[in-house]
Amino acid sequence: MKQPGRFSDLWLLLSILVLLGIGLLSNFSTSYADGTGLYYFQRQFFWIGIGTALALGILSIPLRIIEMLAYIIYGLSVASLILVLAIGVTHKGATSWFQFGTVQLQPAEFAKVATLLALARFLAENPRSLDRMWVFLAACLMVIVPMGLILVQPDLGTALIFPVMLFVMLIWAGVAPQYLLLLVMPPAAVLTSWFVPLHITVLVAFIVLAVFTIRRIPWIALLTGLYLGFGALTPKLWNKLEPHQQRRITTFLDPEADPLGAAYQLIQSKIAVGSGGVSGKGFLNGTQTQLRFLPEGHNDFIFSAFAEEWGFIGALVVIFAFFLFFYRGVVIATKCHSPFYSLIAIGVTGTIIFQALTNLLMTVGFLPVTGLPLPLVSYGGSSMLVSLAMIGLLFSTALRWREY
């Protein structure tokens, strides 16, 4: 295992530079295709500049001070989520933005960082109580508050990040398995409830596993109950979803069912990616035929645009860059002596990689269309600022890994 570098981590830096570069190239290309001139490209450049400054600023602040401020930052972030519901700008049905002149900021993005910091501090502060119920419940509460406020906006895609972040950090902190199962069982029940044999198989597998690992009857009973309860409730929850959300899921499960609606994006995306072939159509050459049919080419489907022009080779570069990022992130998290630093490193890595994987698997038709941008690559001010701020934190932990 290679140690983190003395000043920072050059491999990590390389992966980030590659991804930012690919993002700029793709935005140039989609701007070109859109006939919007260099609009997205220039704005992206601008946001990268601001974001890099922000990351360097964060890097220069001792992590101890950030640790001290973690709860305050979290409090301010929750307050801003409440404020956005009151005075935010509504766009495509979601009240998610603060408007400053021509700039729109999305407090939900910043809540990710704030929650990550607070969670890391909380879990690091209580290393001996990680098998206690109250620690688990408090950690959950810290996530549920901002997540709930984001769901109200409503912004399902962004809210989805929070439980994942919680889950990754709880595992990393070493929380007892039954608590992790407490988080896993409900979604597992929901996902499997559509197919009864699978539903039962998973339950049986869980019980067998639990007998050997958890070994406590009340816990097993509780988790089983939870599983069965959620399994039964799923149809009711389903009916509460907005029709367009239902359609996204059914389209994913059976694209033939709705070839004209939500599947349109998916079909276009797959054609774009597939037509890129091994070596791609070449920079700016994909736009003439396919990109103009690609919805959200600069945003959610930017990978498809890139993969069309740069082919399988280009796509591999993106994937390896993300994998490198992931690998270095986990290495840094492992090496850090301070639990707070370590949790920040894994939180940042987990969040960004989860988003990246969700987006990438979506563009190739392996996951439903969720509306999550590709971190560091997609166009978007708030998303870019927050990704770079998180990366600033990651570099900070890499730089200070020796501190306790």
Partner 1 sequence: MTKRSENIRFFSFIAFGVLTFSLLIYRLVQLQVVQGPEFREKSESNRIRFVELLAPRGVMRDRNGNLLVSNRPSYTCYGIPRDLYHDSLATGLLGVALAENPADIRDKILKPVKSTYRPQRIRRDMPYTLLARFEELRDQIPGAYLEIEPKRFFPYGVAPHLIGYVAEVAESELATFPGLQSGDLVGKRGLERLYDKDLRGIKGSKLSVVDVYGQEVETGGEIGRIEPVPGNELWTTLDIGAQLLAESLLVGNIGSVVAMDVRTGGVVVMASSPSYDPDIFAGSISAFHWNALLTDPEKPMLNRAVQTMYPPGSTIKPALLVEGLASGAISPSWSVSCPGSFTFGNRTFKCWKKGGHGHIDCIQSVAQSCDVFYYKLGLQLGADGIHRAMSRFHFGSPTGVDQTSEAAGLIPSEEYYNKRYGPRGWTKGFIVSVAIGQGEMLTTPIQLAAFAGAIATGVWRQPHVVDGIYDPNNRTLTKRADYVIDTLDLTPEILRYGQFGMEQVVWGPSGTARRQQNDSLKIAGKTGTAQNAHGDDHGWFICYGPIDNPMYSCCALIEFGKSGSGAGAPVAGEVLRDLIRREIYPDLYKKRVKEDEESEDVAHAGDLP
Contacts with partner 1, residue ranges (CB under 8 A): 1, 35, 171-172, 174, 259-260, 263-264, 267-268, 270-278, 289-290, 292-293, 307-308, 311-312, 315-316, 319, 322-323, 326-327, 330-331, 334, 346, 353, 357, 360-361, 364-366
Query: By C-beta, is 230 or 401 nearer to partner 1?
Result: 401
Least spacing, CB of residue 255 vs partner 1, in Å: 10
Least spacing, CB of residue 29 vs partner 1, in Å: 15
Least spacing, CB of residue 109 vs partner 1, in Å: 23
Q: Across the chain, how many H-helices and E-strands are there?
A: 14, 3
Query: By C-beta, is 230 or 354 nearer to partner 1?
Result: 354
Query: By C-beta, is 154 or 177 nearer to partner 1?
Result: 177
Asked if 374 and 329 count as a contact pair (C-beta separation under 8 A), the reply is: no
Least spacing, CB of residue 281 vs partner 1, in Å: 8
Query: By C-beta, is 326 or 341 nearer to partner 1?
Result: 326
- Which amino acid makes up residue 235? P
Least spacing, CB of residue 363 vs partner 1, in Å: 10
- Tokens 């945003």 found at: 299
Least spacing, CB of residue 378 vs partner 1, in Å: 17
Residue count (the chain): 404
Asked if 206 and 216 count as a contact pair (C-beta separation under 8 A), the reply is: no
122 in helix, strand or coil?
Answer: helix
Distance of CA 335 to the CA centre of its chain: 23
Query: By C-beta, is 1 or 86 nearer to partner 1?
Result: 1
C-alpha angle 142-144-149 in degrees, rounded to nearest 5: 115
Least spacing, CB of residue 283 vs partner 1, in Å: 16
Q: How far apart are CA 377 and CA 28, in angstroms?
A: 12
In degrees and rounded to multiples of 5, residue 91 shows phi and psi of -145, 130
Query: By C-beta, is 144 or 357 nearer to partner 1?
Result: 357
Query: By C-beta, is 189 or 356 nearer to partner 1?
Result: 356
Query: By C-beta, is 253 or 316 nearer to partner 1?
Result: 316
Q: How far apart are CA 22 and CA 306, in angstroms?
A: 8
The total of other beta-carbon atoms located within 10 Å of residue 294's CB is 25
Query: By C-beta, is 33 or 147 nearer to partner 1?
Result: 33
Query: What one-character DSSP code corresponds to residue 90?
Result: E
Alpha-carbon distance values, 107 to 149, 291, 381, 394 (Å): 11, 31, 12, 21
Query: By C-beta, is 150 or 353 nearer to partner 1?
Result: 353
Structure tokens at 116: 């990550």
Least spacing, CB of residue 280 vs partner 1, in Å: 9
Q: At what angle do helices 133-152 and 156-173 cross, to 10 degrees?
A: 160
Least spacing, CB of residue 32 vs partner 1, in Å: 13
The residue among 223, 201, 139, 143 whose CA lies nearest residue 175 is 139
The residue among 289, 284, 329 whose CA lies nearest residue 309 is 284
Query: By C-beta, is 153 or 355 nearer to partner 1?
Result: 355
Least spacing, CB of residue 373 vs partner 1, in Å: 17
DSSP of 255-301, one letter per residue?
GGG-TTTTHHHHHHHHHHHHHTTTT-S-TTTSTTTTGGGSTTTTTTT
Asked if 403 and 337 count as a contact pair (C-beta separation under 8 A), the reply is: yes
Least spacing, CB of residue 254 vs partner 1, in Å: 13
